[in-house]
Amino acid sequence: MSLSKSRLFALQISLLFGLAYAPTAQSWNLFGPNNYEDCVLDGIKNAKSDRATNLVIHACRSKFPDKTPATKYDLPGNFLYSSLGISLPILNQLTRNINLNKIRVVQTGTKYSGYKSFDYGHHLSLEITNRNDFPINGVEIGLPLKKESTCSWDDKHYLEIYTCSGIAGSRGSGVFRCEIPRVESRQVRVCLTGFIFYGTRADASAFMQKYNIPYP
């Protein structure tokens, strides 16, 4: 019995970005199956929780690494690594290594006597220092609910979540742009909740294996 690639990929994505990760004891033998798909199928039969299922996927990928070679169709793209809803220490730490130094609302274009230029608008500008040993091609931010005074990895803590474009090299700094509706008329508080890694799928796979992040 095998799990279709589309079903398996959807399952892995939903677990990586939406569920907590924590060990849960199960009566499951990792060493029984001889391939990744059967390993996952065998393991999730006895998983009693989402956390246990995520652990199964992580353990199976560790035992059966992705050896699919890169092809000419493996084009570069953005890969979002969000810490929201995930209790995964290494991913949380990589996000903490990104420092938010300055926030300001920036106006583009001009407005005069009721007329606006075609490029008139406002966006949120973030000055960021990346203390990680890899470059980032964007960040994820959360706007906390008014009642929340601190940042959190709990997605229920936030009113809105956005991704911001920009580039900061390895142990470098950069300016990131966030498109937030009506930002010029709002009092905005920001929490960094994730980052974007740019590369091919093979690059992303190597990155996740290096930092022991569950495979999507």
Taking only the tens place, the pLDDT of each residue in 16-55 is: 433 333 333 334 454 577 887 888 888 777 776 666 676 7
Cα–Cα distance, 126 to 32 (Å, whole number): 49
90: closest CA among 40, 47, 134? 134
Q: Which residues of 7-21 are buried (b: 16+ CB within 10 A; e: fewer)?
A: ebeebbeebbbebeb
Q: What's the alpha-carbon Rg for the chain, to the nearest Å? A: 20
Kindly report the CA angle at 18 between 13 and 20, in degrees rounded to 5? 115
Average pLDDT over residues 76-83: 91
Residue 136 one-letter amino acid: I
More confident of the two residues 15 and 37: 37
List the structure tokens of 194: 């994730």
Taking only the tens place, the pLDDT of each residue in 84-121 is: 987 789 999 999 999 999 999 999 989 888 788 888 99
